[in-house]
Amino acid sequence: MIRHLQPQTFLPQASLIPTPKPSKNPNPVPKSISNSLRPTLNSPNYPSLSHHPSTSVDPGLLFREKVLYLETHLNVDSQKALHQNPDFRSCPLSSLKSVEGCLSSMGIERSAQGRILDMYPQLLTVDPHSALYPIFDFLLTEVRIPFPDIRKSIIRCPRLLVSHLDYQLRPALKFLTELGFSGRSSITCQTTVLLVSSVQFTLLPKIEYLQSLGLSYEEVVNMVIRSPGLLTFSINNNYKPKVDFFLEEMKRDVGELKRFPQYFSFSLEGKIKPRHRLLVEHGFSLPLREMLKVSDGEFNARLIEMRLGSAEGSWV
């Protein structure tokens, strides 16, 4: 019987960000983001026309300065930014620099900032104190990602920065924790991507689909804890075609998927089908792990070895 876990709605909570005590550790990992990490960046190497209030400056010049900064300093497509975020046209350059300063304070280098801002131009005009730092606080204090790994989490999944804290990230964390992502299997910078998934429309349906194959709830949980990527794969584009090939063409038992859930992470057309057909052509069979986890060179060498062994046996 399929067990349903209902996502819980969270009420918004204020984020308290105390200033950490000085540490003798040269690379301390703060429990929360200190106020010292909340700068409003005004780069001395990039003077701004807007810094001279005593001088009347043409608004068109200010706008062009902002576009030039966006394109040359951050390598962001200004046309795309204006199309997806019309507020960028009227926001001051200082607003953009404060976002840049926020990302820099978390160790995200400029090249990565440009990719993130180009992907999500809505971030160009947000208030870091209300929109970004609370997410960093959440990752640090609730998910418990070490400070040096925050950068990895964001670069791996920039969508974290545009996900709602109380209606998306916290419910996903609660669901995943109850599922078994805790202790030694806790969410890491490699698996924070799961936090942007909808519990109701993404995570639960994948668990239910795997159960529909005849696997128990406990077996499915064990599979996704061992291979968290299972929760990121599409049911229609990944699970179904690979399961169909596994059952109909390979004629294997579902129990193998339980022992080697990484099967779903390999390309059906690029690796699974070609290797299976080579084995069938020569009358051989290999466990999924031995069939898929080795490189092409190792697989071919193993196939040659099996063919030679088979030939020698026929001569005896």
pLDDT at 107: 94
Q: Do 35 and 150 fall within a single domain?
A: yes
- Domain assignment present for 77: yes
Containing domain of residue 236, as a range?
A: 198-264
pLDDT in tens, 5-21: 444 444 344 343 444 44
Q: Do 137 and 88 fall within a single domain?
A: yes
**pLDDT band, residue 254 (cuts 50/70/90):** very high
pLDDT at 311: 63
**pLDDT band, residue 312 (cuts 50/70/90):** low
List the structure tokens of 316: 């005896």
pLDDT at 56: 56
pLDDT at 313: 52
Q: What is the pTM of this model?
A: 0.77
How confident is the model over 265-280, as a mean pLDDT? 95
Helix runs in 213-295, H state only: 217-226, 240-244, 255-259, 273-281, 288-292
Boundary residue ending a domain (264, 287, 303): 264
Q: Do 260 and 288 fall within a single domain?
A: no
Q: How many domains does the chain have?
A: 3
Q: What is the DSSP string of 194-233?
A: GGGS-IIIIIHHHHHHHHHTT--HHHHHHHHHH-GGGGGS
Q: Do 79 and 152 fall within a single domain?
A: yes
Q: Do 117 and 215 fall within a single domain?
A: no
**Residue 268: pLDDT over 60:** yes
Residue 182, CA atoms < 13 Å, CB-side half-sphere: 9
Its sign, for the CA torsion 211, 217, 222, 228, is: positive
Q: Do 35 and 154 fall within a single domain?
A: yes
pLDDT at 32: 54
Q: Can you tell me which residue has the tokens 């026929």? A: 314
Least confident of 247-256, 291-300, 306-315: 306-315
- Is residue 93 within 8 Å of residue 62, measured between CB atoms? yes
- Domain assignment present for 118: yes
**pLDDT band, residue 33 (cuts 50/70/90):** low
Q: Do 235 and 271 fall within a single domain?
A: no
Boundary residue ending a domain (245, 264, 283): 264
Mean pLDDT of the chain: 84
